[in-house]
Amino acid sequence: MSSSNRVIIFDTTLRDGEQSPGASMTQDEKLRIAKLLEKMRVDVIEAGFAIASPGDFAGVKSVADHIKDSTVCSLARALDGDIDRAGEALKNANSGRIHTFIATSPIHMKYKLQMQPDQVVERAIYAVKRARNLMDDVEFSLEDASRTEFDFMCRIVEAAIDAGARTINIPDTVGYAVPEEFGATIGRLMNAVPNIDKAMISVHCHNDLGLAVANSLSAVNHGARQVECTINGLGERAGNASLEEIVMAIRTRADALNVTTNIDTKHIVPTSRLVSGVTGFPVQPNKAIVGANAFAHESGIHQDGVLKHRETYEIMTAQDVGWNDNKMVMGKHSGRAAFRARLEELGTSFANDVAFNDAFRRFKELADKKHEIFDEDLQALVSETGMETAENARFKLTSLQVTSQIGETPVAHVKLMKDDVEAAAESVGSGPVDAVFKAIEQVADSGTSLELYSVNAITSGTDSQGEVTVRLEKAGRIVNGLGADTDIIIASAKAYIHALNTLDSGAEKAHPQV
């Protein structure tokens, strides 16, 4: 199978990406992201871990029900209940895949699974066969493969292929591998396993040492033909290999890597923004491909060179990956049809008229304050839909007033609805944002601690909206809240309220790897 030079792009933003603390997504958000991934022509979308919670099941099911062009996958431990639940969530998929896994390193088998190697092999065979009874497309992963003994790796890979796995995934679960060694392991595996030609070899690299993309590409050089990755490199701990970096390296250095993907790269930046908006994980400005500075030339020498001949300093174009030069897309006079059409381009459709009308009303309010509305503004606006404005939200901000003067302590007065009852509070703080959060807490009394507060300008110019991320923690649970407004104090209040509502609504769910 590896003789083909096409690399399958398997996106796990909705599963491994969602395992980042605070990055959980609603069913609706997952579907919005999945639609953009489908537009981008991602080959496989891992939509979640169906057994984890009713919400996860519904998320996988809704992606499976709506996505037609990409294969939709659910993760499942090598357990009956997991596999059956994955099969059930995927039953309407045009093309579905069950991805089952078990840990194979000595340390995981001994301490986590408390199983003997022979038992692990048996369980893997059993799981693959059970999944194959439900569907043809089955992937098997050896969790912690990069710390697995090579002979045992070969034994279990051969057994899983015999049992019917079509894809064998070799994860660097803890981000321990280095490129030469990881690539060589894939090369040795390809030579050592007699039935390897009956399966696609995949890799799934974590970024603990910042080597996830390098390790994945080294594996591709040695015969891997599926790469598991995420938008913005989101994922457990330091994240996974970033989809945009893998895809653009393969495209830009086709001469060195000799492989291709099927990805339509112009959807990369809009998808990156949507994922960042939905999860509340901002993209660092110097992030390759999707960071705000990725195509900005600050130094005079570089600018001069690029103006004379673009390729002096640019190896790919901003347009190739979907940067749109901050073009004004809408304004105060734009109507409902244009608003809906532009959002559909950006991957957002509305569940019902109430959600659409709410977003359109807030668009008009924004257009009154801000002359030019960019794609980034629209994305921030829809990321807010269903947050603090949602009908069933427990907390709603109804009024906010802050005074802040040189030499005086800032004071905030807030009014909010808590369980449909309006309450007012007043607080001082070390700054206006601190005062607002303290006033909100007087009413909410949430018992949370603030883990992160960050503000980003969505576009350039002093009339830009500020996008605020607030991360709250309570009893080990971490949630993110997002808020956007041309007034960053209001954006901060919205983000805080959003985080409180998320905390209030979230059901607990199981983690696949513990």
Binding site for Zn ion (CB under 5 A): 16
The partner in contact with residue 143, picked from ligand KIV, Zn ion, none with C-beta cut-offs of 5 to 8 angstroms by kind, is ligand KIV
Rounded-to-integer distance, Cα 199 and Cα 2, Å: 8
| Nearest CB to ligand KIV, comparing residues 22 and 512 | 512
3-state secondary structure 101-150: EEECCHHHHHHHHCCCHHHHHHHHHHHHHHHHHHCCCEEEEEECHHHCCH
- State which residue, 82 or 158, has the beta carbon closest to Zn ion: 82
Quick one: 145 or 497, whose CB is closer to Zn ion?
145
- From the CB of 235, what's the least distance to Zn ion, in Å? 6
Residue showing tokens 């901060």 = 492
CB of 171 to Zn ion, least distance (A): 6
Tell me how far, at minimum, the Cβ of 173 lies from ligand KIV, in Å. Answer: 3
3-state secondary structure of 52: helix
101 binds, among Zn ion, ligand KIV, none (CB under 5 to 8 A by kind): ligand KIV
Nearer to ligand KIV, 322 or 512 (CB): 512
Cβ neighbour number for residue 94 with a 10 Å cutoff: 13
Residues that bind ligand KIV (CB under 6 A): 16, 101, 141, 143, 169, 171, 173, 204, 206, 512
**Locate tokens 């399966």: which residue?**
199
Per-residue 3-state assignment (H helix, E strand, C coil) for 170-239: EEECCCCCCHHHHHHHHHHHHHHCCCHHHCEEEEEEECCCCCHHHHHHHHHHCCCCEEEEEHHHCCCCCC
Burial of 475 (0-12, 13-18, 19+ CB in 10 A): exposed
Per the CB < 8 A criterion, the answer to whether 102 and 110 are in contact is: no
* Phi, psi angle pair for 264, to nearest 5°: -90, 100
Give the Cα-Cα-Cα angle 365, 368, 374 (nearest 5 degrees). 85
Interstrand relation of 395-403 and 167-172 (parallel, antiparallel or unpaired):
unpaired
Closest residue to Zn ion: CB criterion:
16
Residue 141 contact, options Zn ion, ligand KIV, none, Cβ 5-8 Å cut-off depending on partner type: ligand KIV
Nearest distance from residue 20's CB to Zn ion, in Å? 11
Comparing CB distances to ligand KIV, the nearer of 101 and 152 is 101
Of 33 and 229, which has the nearer Cβ to ligand KIV? Answer: 229
CB of 59 to ligand KIV, least distance (A): 17
Minimum Å distance from CB 24 to ligand KIV?
16
CB of 235 to ligand KIV, least distance (A): 8
Min CB(214)–Zn ion separation in Å? 17
* Per-residue three-class SS string for 15-44: CCHHHCCECCCCHHHHHHHHHHHHHCCCCE
Beta carbon nearer to ligand KIV, 76 or 359: 76
Nearer to Zn ion, 144 or 158 (CB): 144
